[in-house]
């Protein structure tokens, strides 16, 4: 997720600057005869490293990408392309790792409620417009099902300045210790308290990101979610959230963004556009119509008993568009 200062009260000049920053750290978009940039999971694309046996334009004669499973054919027409990789199918499990100091913080309730109620919503249903296509010609879509499967706490096992490899190690250590199960159909979210920094660009290049890695011999999907209380002008859409906790309310938007990208592009080789932007990136920091909460803040969706202001997602249908529902 890219950093944008997303307050509805920002000036046009600031918004223009942020729109330009949306593609910082990436090269020019490819031409019509070039391969698409590939996503990094952090909101920008980069040139791909060729993978033997994988075909992104056309196919290799038998319609598969060299592994006999998903097709390498490129699907266009809705503003985002299919590149042959898998999506997450069935019910996606969500695990939280509360890293740092969360004592007495209402975020633990606010964000648990989000993960518990986002599945089955009209909002998450947008992701059902994405699918895996097999070499047989059949396809299977993402389901509108999310299961909050549990959490674990970590009291600064790697200190308060985390590298990307530290974040993977936090997930790996929880799995190897048995604190969380090894689950290949899950996304593990490392949620950090406001005193924790991610040294590869939190608050300056991104507010959160998702990726995957080999952990305990399995392909595990995980995400980093920074706390906007550390840099509210960069990672919070408003100074007061509908649940009365600006940091947690801001994290709810970032979690939603990374979750929908993780289910539609878990291995960074499935659904993205020519610039390497994934579905949520195409709608980053846009919220559509909003309502006013009792405390005067803005919200655009109710999940369970709570109101949230979360970013829109890209509907892969009817030419493609940003929306809060499908």
Structural domain includes residue 218: yes
Structural domain includes residue 3: no
Structural domain includes residue 147: yes
Structural domain includes residue 188: yes
Instruction: Give percent of the chain with pLDDT exceeding 70.
Output: 82
Q: What pLDDT is stored for residue 77 in this prediction? A: 86
Q: What pLDDT is stored for residue 242 in this prediction? A: 98
Q: What pLDDT is stored for residue 145 in this prediction? A: 98
Give which of 169, 153, 161 is closest to 98, Cα–Cα: 153
Q: What pLDDT is stored for residue 8 in this prediction? A: 34
Structural domain includes residue 124: yes
* Beta-sheet strands, E only, within the chain: 38-39, 45-46, 81-82, 92-99, 131-133, 139-141, 146-154, 161-162, 186-192, 197-198, 208-215, 218-225, 271-272, 291-292, 298-299, 301-303, 306-308, 313-315, 321-323
Q: Which residues of the chain have pLDDT under 70?
A: 1-34, 49-73
Q: What pLDDT is stored for residue 246 in this prediction? A: 97
pTM of the model: 0.86
C-alpha–C-alpha distance, residues 202 and 193, integer Å? 13
C-alpha–C-alpha distance, residues 180 and 325, integer Å? 32
Domain that holds residue 232: 12-323
Structural domain includes residue 53: yes
Domain total for the chain? Answer: 1
Structural domain includes residue 4: no
Q: What pLDDT is stored for residue 2 in this prediction? A: 55
Q: What pLDDT is stored for residue 34 in this prediction? A: 58
Q: What pLDDT is stored for residue 234 in this prediction? A: 97
Give 206-226 pLDDT, tens digit per residue: 999 999 999 999 999 999 999
Structural domain includes residue 259: yes
């Amino acid at each position: 997720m890219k950093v944008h200062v997303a307050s509805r009260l920002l000036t046009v000049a600031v918004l223009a600057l942020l729109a330009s920053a949306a593609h910082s750290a990436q090269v020019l978009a490819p031409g019509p005869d070039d391969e698409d940039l590939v996503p990094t999971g952090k909101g920008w694309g980069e040139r791909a490293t060729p993978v033997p046996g994988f075909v992104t334009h056309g196919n290799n004669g038998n319609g598969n990408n060299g592994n006999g499973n998903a097709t390498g054919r490129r699907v266009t027409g809705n503003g985002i392309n299919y590149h042959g990789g898998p999506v997450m199918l069935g019910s996606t499990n969500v695990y939280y790792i509360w890293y740092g100091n969360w004592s007495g913080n209402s975020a633990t309730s606010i964000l648990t409620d989000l993960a518990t109620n986002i599945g089955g919503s009209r909002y998450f249903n947008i992701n059902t417009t994405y699918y895996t296509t097999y070499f047989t010609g059949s396809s299977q879509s993402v389901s509108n099902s999310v299961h909050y499967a549990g959490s674990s706490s970590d009291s600064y096992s790697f200190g308060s300045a985390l590298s990307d490899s530290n974040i993977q190690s936090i997930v790996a250590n929880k799995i190897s210790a048995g604190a969380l199960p090894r689950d290949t159909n899950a996304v593990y979210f490392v949620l950090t308290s406001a005193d924790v920094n991610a040294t590869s660009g939190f608050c300056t290049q991104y507010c959160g990101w998702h990726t995957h890695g080999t952990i305990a011999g399995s392909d595990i999907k995980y995400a980093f979610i920074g706390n906007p209380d550390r840099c509210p002008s960069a990672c919070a859409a408003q100074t007061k959230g509908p649940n009365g906790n600006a940091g947690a309310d801001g994290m709810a938007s970032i979690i939603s963004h990374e979750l929908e990208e993780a289910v539609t592009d878990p291995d960074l080789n499935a659904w993205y556009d020519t610039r390497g932007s994934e579905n949520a990136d195409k709608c980053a920091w846009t919220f559509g119509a909003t309502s006013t909460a009792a405390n005067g803040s803005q919200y655009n969706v109710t999940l369970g008993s709570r109101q949230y202001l979360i970013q829109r997602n890209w509907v892969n249908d009817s030419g493609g568009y940003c929306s809060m529902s499908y």
